[in-house]
Amino acid sequence: MLSIIAGLALSAQIYTHQPSVYVRPPYRVPSSSKYLPDHRRNGKELPNTQTTLSLSADSNITLKAGDNRVTNNLLSSAVKIINQTSLSILSKYAGSTPTQAVNIILFSSPQTYGNALIQAGIPADDIAAYTANTGGITIGSNIWIPLYNLKDISQLANVMTHELTHVTFNQIGSGDKLPTWINEGAAWRDGLLAEQQLDSLATSLEMLTEQRGVLQAVTSGQLLPLTATEQDILNANYNVEYEDFMAVESLVKQYGADKFIAFLDAAKSNQQDADEAFQTTYKIRMVDFQNTFLKSLQSEAK
Ligand SMILES: [Zn+2]
């Protein structure tokens, strides 16, 4: 919390130079930690928490203080990031911005965040893992973010943009249809783009570290397929979501950003499932793309 408040002093300065465009890195969970899913399918809605402060961003998004250590200044900085960074990334790379109400609640401590998670029905045994390791959680149109896990404002930009990507997909009806690798890969891509706009050097370094982890998993034979189960992902010793990001990046590099938006559009229709939408858009089967991608990682790791 202290570090992010210190980071805020810098945020005005950061915004005086216009961010360079282009891509990458996310919020990180501590590299030694286990991965926890940040969005849950068909979960119970997050309950309304007692909040004292709230501020509205554009596009139906409201930022709220989850406890009284989250200041109005911090909410203002978060609103500014959403208006100046997140929304344009979502329009360009996720195909739209949220059209219905979104609540983002920020928590300053493991205690206040843990209490809120207990009220949301997260099992008591899991609370310690959630408060220690997650960058945020999204259910439906509600996003909760533990600030104390973030180093600075650029990581907050990453987490908010990442979670808003999930919300955007949920609101257009494709969230539950997309395979995890596309849902998470796209959210990572958007989050990294946002972080890069605020701190491109730190973002590049994070990306190198994450990429090294994925390539080491290839050489040690521990790389999971893009269709890995949640249990496999929980037990992995590298960041499987970064592998998802690399797959989405590879897809977008090969076929272009417009095609990816066209695929997302096709996937939200009731007539097609994600596999059909993929084949209609890319003229190849999703499983063939997945296999080709894994092979390309194997040659990269040699
Ligand atoms: Zn996510």
pLDDT at 90: 96
Whole-number Å distance between alpha carbons of 207 and 114: 29
| C-alpha of residue 156 to centroid of ligand 1, in Å | 14
| C-alpha of residue 247 to centroid of ligand 1, in Å | 15
Name the residue among 37, 241, 36, 43 with its Cα closest to residue 139. 43
pLDDT in tens, 243-262: 999 999 999 999 999 999 99
| C-alpha of residue 184 to centroid of ligand 1, in Å | 5
Mean confidence (pLDDT) of the chain = 83
Residue 214 domain boundaries: 2-301
CATH of the domain at 84: 1.10.390.10
Does residue 48 surpass a pLDDT of 70? no
| C-alpha of residue 21 to centroid of ligand 1, in Å | 22
| C-alpha of residue 185 to centroid of ligand 1, in Å | 8
Whole-number Å distance between alpha carbons of 89 and 181: 19
Confidence of residue 110 (pLDDT cuts 50, 70, 90): very high
| C-alpha of residue 146 to centroid of ligand 1, in Å | 14
| C-alpha of residue 273 to centroid of ligand 1, in Å | 21
| C-alpha of residue 25 to centroid of ligand 1, in Å | 13
pLDDT in tens, 218-245: 999 999 999 998 778 878 889 999 999 9
| Number of domains making up the chain | 1
Q: Which two tokens stand for residue 133?
A: 């390791």
Q: Which residue has 């797959």 as its token pair?
A: 247
| C-alpha of residue 37 to centroid of ligand 1, in Å | 7
